[in-house]
Structure 1
Amino acid sequence: MTGSFYMPGEWHPHRRCWMAWPAGTRLWGEKTGEAHAAFVAVARAIARFEPVRMLANPEDAPNARQLLDGVAEVIEASYDDSWLRDTGPSFVIDGTGGIAGTDWVFNGWGERQPHERDAALAGWILDREGITRRPSPLVNEGGAIHVDGEGTLLAVETTILNQNRNPDLTHVEIERELCAATGAEKVIWLPGGLDGDYGPVGTDGHIDTVACFARPSLVLAQVTRDPADSDYETLQENLRALKAATDARGRKLEVVEIEQPARREDEATGGRLPMSYVNFYLAGVPDGKQGLVLPIYDDPADEPAIAALQAVFPEREIVTVPGTILFEGGGGVHCITQQEPMP
Structure 2
Amino acid sequence: MNDHAMNRPAGGGAGMNRRRFLTAAGLTAAAAALAATEGRGRAAAAAGPAAAGAFSVPIEDVRHTRTWMAWPDSSSIWGGKLGGVQSDIALIARTIAKYEPVYLCANSASAAKARSLCGPTVTVITTIPVDDCWMRDSGPVFRTDGAGGLDAVGLNFNGWGSKQTHARDALVAQRVAAHVGVPYTSAALVGEGGAVEQDGAGTLMATRSSLLNNNRNPGKSQAQIEAALRTAYGASKVIWFDGVYGQDITDDHVDATSRFLAPGKALVQMPLATDNDAYAKDARQQYQVLSAATSATGAPMVVEKLQGPDYYKIRSTNPDFLASFANYYVCNGAVISGQFGDTRADTAAKALLTRLFPGRTVEQLNIDRLGTGGGGIHCVTQQQPVP
TM-score, scaled to structure 2: 0.82
Deviations 1:84-103 (A, max 9, x none): 00000000011111101101
* C-alpha distance in structure 1 between counterparts of 2:214 and 2:317, whole Å: 24
1:190-205 to 2 correspondence within 5 Å? 190-192=241-243, 198-199=247-248, 202-205=249-252
Letter in 2 for 1:212: R
Indicate how the Cα distance of structure 1 residues 269 and 56 shifts in structure 2: closer, same or farther if over 3 A, else same: farther
Aligned to 1:47: 97
* C-alpha distance in structure 2 between counterparts of 1:141 and 1:264, whole Å: 31
Q: Is contact 1:90-1:101 (8 Å) kept?
A: yes
* C-alpha distance in structure 2 between counterparts of 1:146 and 1:23, whole Å: 28
SS for the counterpart of 1:50 is coil
Q: Is contact 1:3-1:96 (8 Å) kept?
A: no
SS for the counterpart of 1:97 is coil
Aligned to 2:114: 64
Q: Is contact 2:74-2:132 (8 Å) kept?
A: no
Aligned to 1:247: 295
Indicate how the Cα distance of structure 1 residues 137 and 245 shifts in structure 2: closer, same or farther if over 3 A, else same: same
Indicate how the Cα distance of structure 1 residues 180 and 276 shifts in structure 2: closer, same or farther if over 3 A, else same: same
* C-alpha distance in structure 2 between counterparts of 1:113 and 1:291, whole Å: 32
Alignment of 1:75 with 2:139, yes or no, is no
Aligned to 2:239: 188
- Pick from 12, 15, 21 the counterpart of residue 71 of structure 2: 21
Q: Higher helix proportion, which one? A: 2
Q: Is contact 1:147-1:154 (8 Å) kept?
A: yes
Aligned to 1:342: 386
Shift of 1:327: 1.7
Aligned to 1:303: 347
Letter in 2 for 1:107: N
Q: Higher strand proportion, which one? A: 1
Moved more, 46-55 or 128-137: 128-137
Q: Is contact 2:67-2:102 (8 Å) kept?
A: yes
Q: Is contact 1:3-1:95 (8 Å) kept?
A: no
Aligned to 2:311: 263
Which runs of 5 or more structure 1 residues have no equivalent in the other structure? 285-289
* C-alpha distance in structure 1 between counterparts of 2:215 and 2:341, whole Å: 35
Letter in 2 for 1:332: G
Shift of 1:121: 1.1
Aligned to 1:314: 358
Aligned to 1:222: 269
Aligned-residue CA RMSD in angstroms?
2.2
Aligned to 2:259: 212
TM-score, scaled to structure 1: 0.92
Q: Is contact 1:7-1:93 (8 Å) kept?
A: yes
Q: Is contact 1:264-1:272 (8 Å) kept?
A: no
SS for the counterpart of 1:239 is helix
SS for the counterpart of 1:184 is coil
Indicate how the Cα distance of structure 1 residues 127 and 281 shifts in structure 2: closer, same or farther if over 3 A, else same: same
Find runs of 4+ consecutive structure 1 residues off by over 3 angstroms.
268-271
1:105-254 to 2 correspondence within 5 Å? 105-192=156-243, 198-199=247-248, 202-230=249-277, 231-254=279-302
* C-alpha distance in structure 1 between counterparts of 2:93 and 2:109, whole Å: 20
* C-alpha distance in structure 1 between counterparts of 2:119 and 2:231, whole Å: 40
Deviations 1:137-195 (A, max 9, x none): 310100000101000001111101112111121110100000000001000012225x9
Aligned to 1:327: 371
Shift of 1:107: 1.2
